[in-house]
């Protein structure tokens, strides 16, 4: 079933992805660059209208778009040229508010007649309310406490604390592994003991896969190698990213992560910026499973070391 392409977008529609080109020639895509924070999107019909754009609240990304990059928008507005049909569907002379998942919320004619308030506030937790929450699955007790402790020992002793985690970068047409603290900082290793690996595999097969099949209606047929991770105090984090964005990992469907020592560190929670500010820190031995397509991050570890085991399923 194909979703039909709307000529005009309405509140509730998720903004389709588009390539954005800055006046400097720099180019990026809307979803890759700007998902995860609330957005103001303006299409001023004249340069004068662009100079009068209102100041966005802190934490809101403000983009001024047109078939050619509009000039005159005051800082912190960023101006981009985008596909003319995409711009036309927004309408001319308007300011859209979109949420952190790039879902359109409200359309206002420019110039604004009144001040726009802060982005739609996240409701306080109330036992009777359904809160907007990231589509993640938490499965308790996938690994027993003694297996978690054995994995930490294996990581620190048999695997000598692992290696600094690197990312794959393209340099002169060649793929290279490179440490990049602007993306992540942690240590990692593949397990070196076939017996311990077999025990993890068995636990995933009997406890995680049936739940994934039931909840997501997805039957796992392969997985990436299991990887042990350590996020040290003041030096462990993984900035917002998706897990299936480059051709070598495009096959991945779900990420699975098991916390090995929850409660022994502060920080290091998962957050899904497209789906609100909530933090996820499943108990020791529990698995957190989520689609590789959604933006996620591991917040900085402030005290202690967070240990985890992760893999990707397809
Ligand atoms: O820290 C983890 O458990 C997994 C972090 C993550 O998002 C990844 O490795 O892609
Ligand atoms: Fe990830």
Q: Name the residue range of residue 35's domain.
A: 19-109
Closest CA to 262 of 290, 287, 293, 238: 287
| 114, part of any domain | no
The per-residue pLDDT for 2 is: 44
Ligand 1 atom closest to the CA of 306, numbered from 1: 1
| 119, part of any domain | no
- Of all protein residues, the one whose alpha carbon is nearest to atom 3 of ligand 1 is 257
Task: Flag whether the ipTM exceeds 0.90.
Answer: yes
309 Cβ inside 6 Å of ligand 1: no
Distance 241 CA to ligand 2 centre (A): 6
Tell me the two tokens of residue 81.
């040229």
Distance 43 CA to ligand 2 centre (A): 34
Same domain, 292 and 225: yes
The per-residue pLDDT for 169 is: 82
Let me know: does 95 contact 41? Beta carbons within 8 Å: yes
Q: Is 176 exposed, middle or buried (0-12, 13-18, 19+ CB in 10 A)?
A: exposed
pLDDT for residue 147 is more than 70: yes
| 5, part of any domain | no
| Domain CATH number, residue 36 | 3.40.30.10
**If pLDDT is split at 50, 70 and 90, which confidence band does 122 have?**
low
The per-residue pLDDT for 20 is: 98
The count of domains in the chain is 2
pLDDT tens, position by position, 166-195:
988 878 888 889 999 999 999 999 999 999
pLDDT tens, position by position, 1-37:
544 556 789 888 889 999 999 999 999 999 999 999 9
The Cα 39–Cα 25 span in angstroms is: 22
Same domain, 212 and 256: yes
Q: Which residues surround ligand 2, an ion (CB under 5 A)?
A: 243
Same domain, 104 and 143: no
What's the predicted TM-score (pTM) here? Answer: 0.82
């Amino acid at each position: 079933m194909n979703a039909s392409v709307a000529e005009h977008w309405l509140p509730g529609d998720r903004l389709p992805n588009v390539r954005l080109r800055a006046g400097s020639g720099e180019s990026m895509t809307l979803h890759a660059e700007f998902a995860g924070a609330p957005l103001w999107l303006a299409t001023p019909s004249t340069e004068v209208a662009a100079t009068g754009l209102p100041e966005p609240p802190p934490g809101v990304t403000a983009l001024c778009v047109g078939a050619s990059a509009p000039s005159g928008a005051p800082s912190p507005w960023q101006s981009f040229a985008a596909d003319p049909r995409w711009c036309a569907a927004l309408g001319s002379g308007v300011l859209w508010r979109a949420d952190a998942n790039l879902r359109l919320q409200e359309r206002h004619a420019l110039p604004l007649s009144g001040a726009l308030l802060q982005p739609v506030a996240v409701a306080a937790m109330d036992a009777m309310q359904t809160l907007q929450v990231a589509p993640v699955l938490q499965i308790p007790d996938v690994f027993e406490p003694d297996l978690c402790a054995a994995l930490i020992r294996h990581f620190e002793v048999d695997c000598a604390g692992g290696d600094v985690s690197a990312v794959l970068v393209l340099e002169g047409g060649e793929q290279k592994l490179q440490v990049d603290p602007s993306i992540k900082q942690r240590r990692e290793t593949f397990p070196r003991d076939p017996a311990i690996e077999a025990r993890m595999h068995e636990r995933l097969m009997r406890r995680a896969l049936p739940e994934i099949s039931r909840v997501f209606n997805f039957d796992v047929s392969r997985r990436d190698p299991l990887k042990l991770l350590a996020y040290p105090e003041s030096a462990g984090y993984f900035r917002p990213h998706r897990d299936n964005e480059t051709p070598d990992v495009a096959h991945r469907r779900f990420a699975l992560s098991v916390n090995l020592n929850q409660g022994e560190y502060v920080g290091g929670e998962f957050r899904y910026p497209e789906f609100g500010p909530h933090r996820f820190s499943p108990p020791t031995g529990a698995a957190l499973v989520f689609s590789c397509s959604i933006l996620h991050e591991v917040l900085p570890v402030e005290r202690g070391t967070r240990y985890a085991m992760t893999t990707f399923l397809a």
